[in-house]
Amino acid sequence: MPQSRWDRCSRSWYVENSHPAIICPEEWDRVQNEMLRRKATGRHQNSLSPFSAKLICGDYGGYYGSKVWHSNSKYRRTIWQCNGKFKGVEKCRTPHLYEDDIKAMFLKAVSELMIDREALIDDGRVLHTAFTDFNAIDKEVAEITSEIDVLSGLVQKLVDENASTTLDQTEYRSRYDGYIDRYDKAKKRLAALQEQRQLQELKGDILSGFLFELGELYDLPMVFKDETWNALVDHVTVHKGGRVVFTFKNGTEVTEML
């Protein structure tokens, strides 16, 4: 039977056994903080609108930007259109979008997504586990770090030996260049592994946010909320003819018509 209790992780009362927890709200806070950081530092993510850097032109691949129509009248409306609509030789054929239409299509797309919600959550958990499994990477990082330390020691020993004794300089240069080449390759591989780990961790965080938000959606029809949009939508591609494709953060695509 469901029971209510105080949870220190979420700092609130919640109902036990109502539905399985996906991630701890503390982890969700970390995801939200990362999203805010990227929004503050990203070149395209400096707008207060949730639609910035989310709407992509299917003709040219560039972003949509906002425009205000009838700014000084009662008919004032904000529309979104391709930033390159009038820049090319041929006019962009993708339509402009009213914000209310974007919201309505998003809610419809999420309603369709909700049909397979439990399966999406289960698959998402498996994918999240894969993203956050760093065992192989950490093992290789440890091995390469050890190799770098050994090579540093060999280079220093060779330099000291050359300074204290008379070595054949051709042989010395050959050995020195060999150590340095191995050292540089190891450093590059280490940097690549560290970048790969950070990318996997970020993907895991983003997926956690998606799963958390999807797990909290129960009431239909929904009301548009910025936080729901930000957590679920990776990007939206607008095509000519009014075909609008929502790509969610788990890779699922849902097509709506304008």
List pLDDT tens digits, range 155-194: 999 999 998 888 889 999 999 999 999 999 999 999 999 9
Q: How many domains does the chain have?
A: 2
Q: Is residue 130 part of a domain?
A: no
Q: Does 79 map to a domain? A: yes
Identify whether residues 32 and 105 lie together within a single domain.
Answer: yes
Give percent of the chain above pLDDT 90: 48
Distance, CA of 43 to CA of 107 (rounded, Å): 28
Question: What average pLDDT score do residues 142-150 get?
Answer: 96
The reply to whether 245 and 186 lie within a common domain is no
Q: Are 198 and 238 in contact (CB under 8 A)?
A: no
The reply to whether 19 and 72 lie within a common domain is: yes
Residues 56 and 89 in one domain: yes
Considering the domain boundaries, does residue 122 fall inside one? no
Q: What average pLDDT does range 142-159 have in this prediction?
A: 95
Phi, psi of 5, rounded to the nearest 5 degrees = -160, 165
Same domain assignment for residues 232 and 157: no
Same domain for 193 and 213, yes or no, is no
* In-domain check, residue 53: yes
- The verdict on 184 and 79 lying in the same domain is no
Q: Are residues 158 and 66 in the same domain?
A: no
Q: Is residue 213 part of a domain?
A: yes
Classify residue 126: in a domain, yes or no. Answer: no
Given 201, 222, 241, which residue is the final one in a domain? 201
Q: How far apart are CA 214 and CA 20, in angstroms?
A: 12
- Residue 191's domain comprises 135-201
- CA-to-CA distance for 79 and 106, rounded, in angstroms? 16
Q: How confident is the model at residue 34 (pLDDT cuts 50, 70, 90)?
A: low
**0.85 cut: is pTM over it?**
no
Three-state secondary structure call for residue 193: helix
Indicate the pLDDT class of residue 27, thresholds 50, 70 and 90.
Answer: low
pLDDT-based confidence at 68, cuts 50/70/90? confident
Let me know whether 30 and 145 are in one domain.
Answer: no
Minimum mean pLDDT range among 21-25, 123-127, 253-257: 21-25
Q: Which region among 105-114, 122-131, 192-201, 216-225 has the lowest average model confidence (pLDDT)?
A: 216-225
* Cα–Cα distance measured from residue 69 to residue 75, given in angstroms and rounded to the nearest whole number: 8
The answer to whether 250 and 213 have CB atoms below 8 angstroms apart is no
